[in-house]
């Protein structure tokens, strides 16, 4: 079985976010980047499937050279080789287009990724890839087993779970508890250095550009009002909070 796992490189979830160049550029300086947490689940399950039934796992990332540490980590976890499409992942359509183009060439049985990235959280890439390839896509998949050519899955739905089966090939957006995150071991880390990482040029141009980012409005300063001064409180509720 050939599995393609798409991983994103996202800021660590505890990072403080800021922007530069008149709020048009996301400031990466000093941030620690990690494999997208949901992508990490997809990768872990893909490696388990390979260990159970053989086959190969290829990791795909759309990103600049700065994302290579995350790609190496995926190789250390157990992927066999990697492809990096050398471009900024500017929007979901552009990323999906790159994935679909690579997938067409590789003839993969499974294309797995997280249900969404944790930076822009669009959650639509798997759907667009499925549409572009003309194959079914499912998300969020929280359980996955392969029996011959059939995938048996559990998907989270509003208020419950849905069990379903579908024939390969498929595109899957994954989430916990599909597998436990894997911790790279020393041997994996050392062998990751020699596993192939192919860098390819992007196909097509991004159709969008960022005009400006904005942060959520800052919380207002807390005003302390003496307990006996209810008049001041009412005045502020009228003039500032405007709730009275």
Partner 1 sequence: MAGFDRKMLNFLLKNVHQVNTITTFDYYSAHDEETFQLILDTAENLAAKHLSPAFVNSDRNEPQLLNDEVKVHPALKPYIQSIAESGLIAATLPFEEDGQQLPKTIYAAAHYILTASHNSFVMFSDLAHGCLEMISTFGTADLKKIYLPKISTCEWLGTMCLTEPQAGSSLSDVQTMAYLQPDGTYKLLGQKVFISAGDHDLTGNIVHLVLARIEGAPAGTKGISLFVVPKYKVDYQTGDLLLENGEKVSNDVKSIAIFHKMGQKATPAMHLGFGGNNDCEGILLGQENKGLAHMFQMMNGARLGVGMTGISIASAAMQLSQQYARERVQGRLPVGSRFPVQIQEHPDVKRMLFAQKAIVNGGLSLLLQCYKYLDLLKVSETEQDIFKYDCLTELLTPVAKTFGAEMGILSTNLGLQIHGGYGYTMDFELEQLARDVRITSIYEGTTGIHSLALVGREILKSDGISLKFWQTEVENTVEEARKLEQTQKAAEQLQSALELFNFTTNKMKEMSEEGKTMEYLADANLYMELFGILNIAWQWLLIGVAATAENGDGKDKLKTLYFYYQYELGKIDYLSRQIINTEKLTLPEI
Q: Judged by CB under 8 A, does residue 82 bind partner 1?
A: no
Nearest-approach distance from CB 186 to partner 1, in angstroms: 3
Q: Which residues pair with 141 in a beta bridge?
A: 155, 174
Q: Of the two residues 43 and 103, which places its CB atom closer to partner 1 in the complex?
A: 43
The full DSSP string for 20-33 is ETTTTEE--TT--E
Rg (CA), the chain: 22
Q: Which residues pair with 171 in a beta bridge?
A: 111, 137
**For partner 1, which residue of 181, 198, 207, 229 counts as binding (CB under 8 A)?**
181
Nearest-approach distance from CB 185 to partner 1, in angstroms: 5
Nearest-approach distance from CB 159 to partner 1, in angstroms: 30
Nearest-approach distance from CB 14 to partner 1, in angstroms: 9
Of 28, 7, 138, the closest CA to residue 72 belongs to 7
Q: Of the two residues 183 and 201, which places its CB atom closer to partner 1 in the complex?
A: 183
**For partner 1, which residue of 5, 45, 62, 73 counts as binding (CB under 8 A)?**
73
Q: Of the two residues 163 and 187, which places its CB atom closer to partner 1 in the complex?
A: 187
**For partner 1, which residue of 16, 21, 22, 32 counts as binding (CB under 8 A)?**
32
Q: Of the two residues 11 and 136, which places its CB atom closer to partner 1 in the complex?
A: 11
Q: Judged by CB under 8 A, does residue 84 bind partner 1?
A: no
Q: Judged by CB under 8 A, does residue 193 bind partner 1?
A: yes
Q: Where are the alpha helices (DSSP H) in 107-203?
A: 125-133, 186-192
Report the distance separating Cα 207 and Cα 108, nearest Å: 27
Nearest-approach distance from CB 116 to partner 1, in angstroms: 22
Report the distance separating Cα 58 and Cα 116, nearest Å: 19
CA atoms within 13 A on the CB side of 124: 9
Report the distance separating Cα 48 and Cα 78, nearest Å: 9
Q: Judged by CB under 8 A, does residue 184 bind partner 1?
A: yes
Nearest-approach distance from CB 189 to partner 1, in angstroms: 5
First to last CA, the chain: 65
Residue position matching structure tokens 């790609």: 71
Of the listed pieces 43-51, 106-114, 161-169, 180-188, which binds partner 1 according to CB under 8 A?
180-188
CB of 57 closer than 8 Å to CB of 50: yes
Q: Judged by CB under 8 A, does residue 76 bind partner 1?
A: yes
**Binding stretches for partner 1 (CB under 8 A):** 29-30, 32, 68-69, 72-73, 76, 181, 183-187, 189-190, 192-193, 224
């Amino acid at each position: 079985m050939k599995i393609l796992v798409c991983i994103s490189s996202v800021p660590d979830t505890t990072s403080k976010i800021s922007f530069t160049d008149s709020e048009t550029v996301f400031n990466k300086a000093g941030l620690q980047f990690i494999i997208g947490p949901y992508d990490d689940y997809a990768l872990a399950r893909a490696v388990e499937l390979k260990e159970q039934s053989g086959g190969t796992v290829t990791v795909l990332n759309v990103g600049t050279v700065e994302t290579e540490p995350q790609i190496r980590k995926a190789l250390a976890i157990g992927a066999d080789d990697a492809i990096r499409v050398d471009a900024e992942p500017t929007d979901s359509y552009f990323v999906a287009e790159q994935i679909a183009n690579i997938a067409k060439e590789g003839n993969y049985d499974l294309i797995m990724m997280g249900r969404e990235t944790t930076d822009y959280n669009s959650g639509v890439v798997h759907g667009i890839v499925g549409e572009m390839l003309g194959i079914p896509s499912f998300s969020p998949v929280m359980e996955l087993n392969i029996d011959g050519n059939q995938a048996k899955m559990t998907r989270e739905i509003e208020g419950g779970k849905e069990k379903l089966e579908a024939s390969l090939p498929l595109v899957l957006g994954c989430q916990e508890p599909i597998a436990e995150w894997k911790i790279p071991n020393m041997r994996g880390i050392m062998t990751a250095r020699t596993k192939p990482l192919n860098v390819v040029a992007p196909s097509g141009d991004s159709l969008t550009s960022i005009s400006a980012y904005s942060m959520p409005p800052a919380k207002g300063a807390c005003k302390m009002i003496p307990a006996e001064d209810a008049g001041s409180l009412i005045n502020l509720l009228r003039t500032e909070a405007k709730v009275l």
